[in-house]
A and B are shown apart, each in its own frame.
Chain A
Amino acid sequence: MMPAVAFADGALEDTPLLSVRGLSYHYGRQLGCRDVSFDLYPGEVLGIVGESGSGKTTLLSCLSGRLPPGSGSIHYDMAGHGLTDLAGLSESELRVLMRSDWGIVHQTPRDGLRMGVSAGANIGERLMAIGARHYGEIRAAALDWLARVEIPANRIDHLPQSFSGGMQQRLQIARNLVNKPRLVFMDEPTGGLDVSVQAKLLDLLRGLVSELGLSVVLVTHDLAVARLLAHRLMVMKSGEVVESGLTDQVLDDPHHPYSQLLVSSVLQV
């Protein structure tokens, strides 16, 4: 399937999906992130890398609507409305957006799942929230997605509490993608998982992102994950973006001292 970044004749989509200018956030006197600007186009995966305290999680929270931006602007290309300033949306409009057009994959699956409800219900909930009223169809959609994230079909009625960490994470992904969002925010999606489990998850994400033409803002401290999934990178340190560009270029030819430090610190297997 043609990724959404380019049309068949090579021409590129003109309107960014997400347009951020001068975004800053302070926790009281403490800097969260400062003066972040970028455009994200349909089908692009933007990786935000940095160590603890870099501001990457703050940035993600501002972008995904969980924190109000301190200053600066975030514009999103809303279906039928064009680029819209998110600050101008009412809380209800924002919540509808988060439910229908966006997905958020948390680092800890428990934060993104309903632990007391079956796997099938977790996946079906978004569909039911937007008006799906046919049980058979909802269940079929849940089974389809379980297959796509490689969870055995016979677990559909089990509670997520009985799943392994990797399986919970895959369930979280299915739950977020079932309503075909255009933009997905991911916070360390492979954090805390065993390596073999990570590999499986990354492969899955790679495939889904490409197949569905998703735009993704991916926060990670793991450069290998960034290289595998992201088209572009932003390197953050102490709340600021110190370098940005094509992923392989930032990782193979880092210019900023901190980027060089990060890249050179990664251990080889």
Chain B
Amino acid sequence: MAEGYNFAYLDEQTKRMIRRAILKAVAIPGYQVPFAGREMPLPYGWGTGGIQVTAAVLAPDDVLKVIDQGADDTTNAVSIRRFFARTAGVATTTRTAEATVIQTRHRIPETTLTEKQILVYQVPIPDPLRWMEPRETETRKMHALLEYGVMHVKLYEDIAHLGRIATSYDYPVRVNGRYIMSPSPIPKFDNPKMDMMPALQLFGAGREKRIYAVPPYTRVESLDFDDHPFEIQSWDEACALCGATASYLDEVVTDDAGSRMFVCSDTDHCGERRDFGHEGPWAKEIAQ
């Protein structure tokens, strides 16, 4: 752990303030709690909200995993993981099953999480109503008074113009039958994982300075119409490396001729499957 930093970078008073906000958020599932976000050594848009939440909940014996679009080895994930290694000295891992705190941008791990884990999401725009109503004073009232007609207007517009609900990520959900929440830009494929998840889910938006939460085993329902029910994405292909057919696949272009392959977005999940002997159609080729 580097010299001259308080544990996990933030001072104790700040962490206490954030924890109070988190408690409030947990007590009111899906409700956006304002918090006094601090200046972090990254610009807005790079996960400062998630980092502050993680910093507030981290304990010395925690094991931290950080992913970005499902991968542990992208620039952001690597930076944030190293940041906490330096300022908190906590153990880090790429294995979902071994982590106690997982900070994520834009994906939920494929592996089912447990009651002993905390999932911290990085959120750009916390308010699902913002696209329709720019005034904060108005959106607060709309949330308070359950004026959510506009959310279905958005879905209606999709169907009217495109024949189906086109929203494929940051798909709005209703939490605990009360607040409508933005689940952050995770693909709608991941929405069902949020429903009755055993782990605690925390959401941090640094620029907007909001924290919200979904406590363990809470109902999270994706909005839809009776005659246009919520559907998740599916692929014709399986993962080229591990052969998974039930995970979220990224499309990778492999050469100038436009060949492409599909691989699991969740790198840990894919690796684990391969360790167990699963093989995808390209596994042998890539091994060479």
Q: Which residues of A contact B (CB under 8 A)?
A: 91-92, 95-96, 99, 114, 116-118, 120-121, 124-126, 128-130, 133-136, 138-139, 156-157
B161 at the interface (CB under 8 A from A): yes
Closest to A94 in B: B145
A-side contacts of B150, CB under 8 Å: 125, 129
Closest to A96 in B: B145
Interface residues as binary, B115-127 with A (CB distance below 8 Å gives 1, 0 otherwise):
0000000000000
Shortest beta-carbon distance from B158 to chain A in Å: 10
Closest 9 A/B residue pairs (Cβ): A129-B149, A128-B152, A135-B225, A128-B149, A134-B226, A92-B145, A121-B153, A133-B226, A125-B149
A-side contacts of B149, CB under 8 Å: 125-126, 128-130
Question: What are 20 sample pairs from A and B whose C-beta atoms fall under 8 A apart?
Answer: A95-B141, A95-B145, A95-B147, A96-B145, A99-B147, A114-B132, A114-B153, A118-B160, A118-B161, A121-B153, A121-B156, A121-B157, A128-B152, A129-B147, A135-B225, A135-B228, A136-B227, A138-B156, A157-B160, A157-B161
Q: Judging by beta carbons under 8 Å apart, are B153 and A125 in contact?
A: yes
Which listed residue (B132, B160, B226) contacts A139, Cβ 8 A?
Answer: B160
B-side contacts of A135, CB under 8 Å: 156, 159, 225-228
B148 at the interface (CB under 8 A from A): yes
Bound together, the chains give a CA A120 to CA B132 distance in angstroms of: 16
B144 at the interface (CB under 8 A from A): yes
Interface centre among A91, A128, A135 (most CB of B within 10 A): A135
Bound together, the chains give a CA A139 to CA B226 distance in angstroms of: 13
Closest to A120 in B: B160
Known: A128-B153, A135-B225. 6 other contacts (CB 8 A): A91-B141, A95-B147, A114-B132, A121-B157, A130-B149, A133-B152
B-side contacts of A92, CB under 8 Å: 144-145
Known interface pairs A92-B144, A129-B147; A124-B156 also in contact (CB < 8 Å): yes
Within 8 A of A (CB), among B108-146: 132, 141, 144-145
Interface centre among A96, A116, A121, A157 (most CB of B within 10 A): A121
Bound together, the chains give a CA A105 to CA B25 distance in angstroms of: 39
Known interface pairs A133-B225, A135-B225, A136-B227; A128-B145 also in contact (CB < 8 Å): no
Closest to B150 in A: A125
Bound together, the chains give a CA A114 to CA B228 distance in angstroms of: 24
Interface residues as binary, B151-189 with A (CB distance below 8 Å gives 1, 0 otherwise):
011001101110000000000000000000000000000
B contacts with A: majority SS: helix
Bound together, the chains give a CA A120 to CA B156 distance in angstroms of: 9
The size class of the interface chain B forms with chain A is 10 to 19
A contacts with B: majority SS: helix
Shortest beta-carbon distance from A207 to chain B in Å: 27
Shortest beta-carbon distance from A63 to chain B in Å: 21
Q: Judging by beta carbons under 8 Å apart, are B148 and A129 in contact?
A: yes
Bound together, the chains give a CA A121 to CA B158 distance in angstroms of: 10
Q: Judging by beta carbons under 8 Å apart, are B147 and A118 in contact?
A: no
Shortest beta-carbon distance from A122 to chain B in Å: 9
Q: Judging by beta carbons under 8 Å apart, are A124 and B153 in contact?
A: yes
Bound together, the chains give a CA A129 to CA B228 distance in angstroms of: 18
Closest to B228 in A: A135
Q: Judging by beta carbons under 8 Å apart, are B152 and A117 in contact?
A: no
Closest to A124 in B: B156
Bound together, the chains give a CA A91 to CA B145 distance in angstroms of: 9
Shortest beta-carbon distance from B224 to chain A in Å: 8
Which listed residue (B141, B156, B160, B161) contacts A128, Cβ 8 A?
Answer: B156
Bound together, the chains give a CA A114 to CA B138 distance in angstroms of: 15
Interface residues as binary, B45-74 with A (CB distance below 8 Å gives 1, 0 otherwise):
000000000000000000000000000000
B-side contacts of A91, CB under 8 Å: 141, 145
Shortest beta-carbon distance from B83 to chain A in Å: 40
Bound together, the chains give a CA A126 to CA B227 distance in angstroms of: 19
Closest to B165 in A: A135
Shortest beta-carbon distance from A119 to chain B in Å: 10
B-side contacts of A133, CB under 8 Å: 152, 225-226
Within 8 A of A (CB), among B211-226: 225-226
Closest to B155 in A: A135
B-side contacts of A136, CB under 8 Å: 227
Bound together, the chains give a CA A194 to CA B149 distance in angstroms of: 34
Bound together, the chains give a CA A138 to CA B155 distance in angstroms of: 12
Interface centre among A114, A128, A136, A139 (most CB of B within 10 A): A128
Closest to B224 in A: A133
Bound together, the chains give a CA A15 to CA B189 distance in angstroms of: 55
Shortest beta-carbon distance from B131 to chain A in Å: 9
B-side contacts of A96, CB under 8 Å: 145
Closest to B152 in A: A128
A-side contacts of B225, CB under 8 Å: 133-135, 138
A-side contacts of B160, CB under 8 Å: 118, 120-121, 139, 156-157
Q: Judging by beta carbons under 8 Å apart, are A134 and B144 in contact?
A: no
Shortest beta-carbon distance from B31 to chain A in Å: 16
Q: Judging by beta carbons under 8 Å apart, are B157 and A118 in contact?
A: yes
Closest to B144 in A: A92
Bound together, the chains give a CA A231 to CA B198 distance in angstroms of: 64
